Each structure stands twice: as C-alpha cells, then as structure tokens.
C-alpha cells in the first residue's frame, strides 16, 4: 500500500486493503458491529485490526500500526 503523506480516512483504508486482498487472493471482511461507536474490525486473511471512524483521517502512526497488524507494507 502506498502512502504519499496525504490524508487517508478509514473508508479509503478499507478500500485499499480490499484491493490488495483481491490482488493477492486473500479473504477480507469488515465488520462494523465488532467495535465500539464508530469503530469496526477489518479481517485480512487470519489477521485483523481495528479501524476508527471511517470518515476521519488516520494519522501516520496509527496507519503504520494498522498495516503492521495486517502484515501489509507501504510498498
């Protein structure tokens, strides 16, 4: 996943993870009920991470943590 420093919100993160999953033939699912409030859980194969509000920007540090949880690199 490439990140050029521009803002990325939760919805865009989910779209990009789904695209990567399709390219690599990996099952992906987002369950909005598996989180408190506006949070949800995205499953990527046997890995998962919590996605905060899908309408709000994800900071670089949180984005790095989420990608690490899913074992996805920026490249």
pLDDT tops 60 at residue 1: no
* 16-30 tens-digit pLDDT: 999 999 999 999 999
Give one DSSP letter per residue of the chain, joined into a string: ----SS-EEHHHHHHHHHHHHHHHT--EEEETTSSSTT-EEEEETTEEEEE--TTSEEPHHHHHHHHHHHT----
Percent of the chain with pLDDT over 90: 59
Quick: pLDDT tens for 38-52: 789 999 999 999 998
- Which pLDDT score, from 0 to 100, does residue 32 have? 82
What's CA 52's distance to the chain center, in Å? Answer: 9
**Residue ranges of the domains in the chain?**
8-70
Between 40 and 33, where is the model more confident?
40
């Amino acid at each position: 996943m490439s990140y050029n420093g521009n803002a990325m919100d939760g919805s865009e993160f989910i779209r990009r993870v789904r695209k990567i999953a399709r390219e690599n033939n990996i099952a992906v699912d987002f369950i909005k009920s598996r989180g408190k409030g506006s949070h949800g859980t995205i499953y990527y194969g046997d890995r998962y991470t919590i996605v905060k509000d899908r309408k709000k920007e994800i900071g670089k540090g949180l984005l790095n943590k989420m990608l690490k949880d899913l074992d996805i690199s920026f490249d």
